[in-house]
Chain A
Amino acid sequence: AVEDLFTSLNRHIQRSEYEQAIKVADQVLSVAPGDEDAIHCKIVSQIKADNIEHALSTISSNNNFHFYKAYCLYRQNKLDEALESLKVLEKDPATMLLESQILFRQGKMDASVDIYQKLQKSKIESLEINLVAGLVSAGRASE
């Protein structure tokens, strides 16, 4: 039953057994095509298993995973496409962090730093590390 498959899926996730989690998610999808939870688990497992290419192919056949798409494109250094995928999403700390990392890779240091400064009130762990990296790269180390 699907419930048993989700129990097994959950166990693999808890144990960080991402390859097995992908297999079980596929088993769910074979009996319940389009199951959003199974698709979501499959994409996250593929990213955590460093199968970025496979994650993108799962994403491409399913809508609603724009953040993951943008993240995978960022991992593949397809930076313009990554920014394009972010556009449809609301600005929240997750999308802003990713946008800032993309801008950093594009060499747009001031724009990258600007986002980190806006996020400073959000109390994100290790944010300062990226803020300082951006300031140094932008030649603004004195700030």
Chain B
Amino acid sequence: NPIVLDLAYNSIDFPSIENRM
């Protein structure tokens, strides 16, 4: 079967925490 890339993984990202430091 053809390969399906896990493109949804690219939407898993850290929040911006610059203002918490």
Contacts and interface: CB of A to CB of B under 8 A. Distances in A.
Chains A and B bind each other: yes
B11 A97 contact: yes
Interface residues of A, number: 36
Interface residues of B, number: 19
The DSSP consensus for interface residues of chain B is loop
Interface string A29-52: 000000011001100110110000
B14 to A, nearest CB: 5
Interface of B: 1-15, 17-18, 20-21
Interface of A: 2-3, 6-7, 9-10, 13, 36-37, 40-41, 44-45, 47-48, 67-68, 71, 74, 93-94, 97-98, 101, 104, 124-127, 129-130, 132-134, 136-137
